[in-house]
Amino acid sequence: MGESVFFQISLIIITCAVLSWGALLLRQPIIVAYLIGGFLCGTSGFGLIHDTAVIDGISDLGITLLLFLAGIVLHPRRLNELLRQTLLLTLINSATAILVCSGFCLLWGFRPIEAFFIGLPFIFSSTILVIKLLPTTALHHKRMGAYCIAILIAQDIIAVTLLILIGSQDGSPMQWLLLPVKGIALIAAAFAFEQLILRRAMARCDRFHEILQLLALGWCLLLALISDKIGLSHEIGAFVAGVALARSPLAFFLSEQLKPFRDFFLVFFFFVLGTQFNPSAMRAVALPALILCPLMMASKYGTFRWLFRRIEEDAPFAHETGARLAQASEFSLILVIAEQRAGLLSVNGFQLVQLVTVLSMLLSSYLVTARFPSPLASNPKLKQD
């Protein structure tokens, strides 16, 4: 078993290292390289990996850390301000995306309930892609960066809410009624523990970075385990742990220090997802995916552009911001897995969401790097770090 695990992890890292290097040269999203690596090594490719049980567990750590770090940059006051600024824009765009995508799937012949759950993951824009392709100056010092971050944060919160609801959809009415109580109790306990104990413990070792990192990771995983035990999910616990820690003076430092951990474990998540690609099922959904992908991107671009014009932003700003947010997200892939586990999607529906998500990220990266300022711009005149 030890050799098998060592072989699997070594193969994943070597494969993803080579493919991500190639993706960087071709200016493609690195996520796509991980997905392709999983497909090539999985049963549908060369069959080098058959049992993904071990790496499935490792990949769960990537999702847990993703949500922990999404929360750790959200001081409760900042969270409130950002939501007031962009929540309405985000909700309108989300409703439009669901309406367009679900409507298309309904016309294509999917059942109404399944059509809705196919459309649901497309409300999100890719945090990784949007932030990677924004110049640093725009990301931290300009309105475009502020708007993009605020919208992505609002979408993160919607994603967390949906994961709670989908994960508990088989529960009894009493369990549903207890969910808010459990959530409030978890948040209250987390905030109290962070302020009274964790913050003081971190202050005692603030010069020892490795201990700070271990304390932060331990805090994240502790809340994840507790959350899972009380009937929520480990993702929810990780997000709450992050928001509680966001009040600490060390929050920004920890978020920067822990990003490599998150990125490393996310490699396994996207690799495992790639192993689930089924060529025969992909062929069955290839045509609707090729139609739905540009339709979804156009609806998101058009809605965001119209909304920004309505709040009196100028046309070039609305055009560029809408284009940067017009793709599906890594959260689309996380949510569709939760939907499949809950029995809400058929194989074809699951594969359709995966294929459209990957295609939209590819197409979006081409469009943004070709037309707008970016660290990865294909035009030297548009290249901005």
Q: Six-digit token pair at 255?
A: 């978020």
Q: What local confidence, expressed as pLDDT, does residue 137 receive?
A: 60
Average the pLDDT over 7-21 and give the result: 92
Tokens of 338: 């939760």
Q: What mean pLDDT comes out for the span 165-183?
A: 69
The Cα-based distances of 133 to 82, 145, 335, 382 in angstroms read: 21, 11, 23, 11
Is this structure's pTM higher than 0.85?
no
Range from 25-29, 172-176, 326-330 that averages highest in pLDDT: 326-330
Going by C-alpha positions, the residue among 175, 259, 249, 245 that lies closest to residue 216 is 245
Q: Over 90: is that where the pLDDT of 302 sits?
A: yes
Average pLDDT taken over every residue of the chain: 84
CATH number for position 219: 1.20.1530.20
Q: Over the stretch 90-107, which tens digit does the pLDDT of each residue have?
A: 999 999 999 999 999 999
| pLDDT category of residue 1 using cuts at 50, 70 and 90 | very low
Name the domain count of the chain.
1
The domain in which residue 206 lies consists of 2-382
Other beta carbons within 10 angstroms of residue 94's beta carbon come to 20
Rounded CA gap, 167 and 41, in Å?
30
Max avg pLDDT among 80-84, 137-141, 344-348 = 344-348
Residue 171's pLDDT is what? 56
Report the distance separating Cα 111 and Cα 102, nearest Å.
10
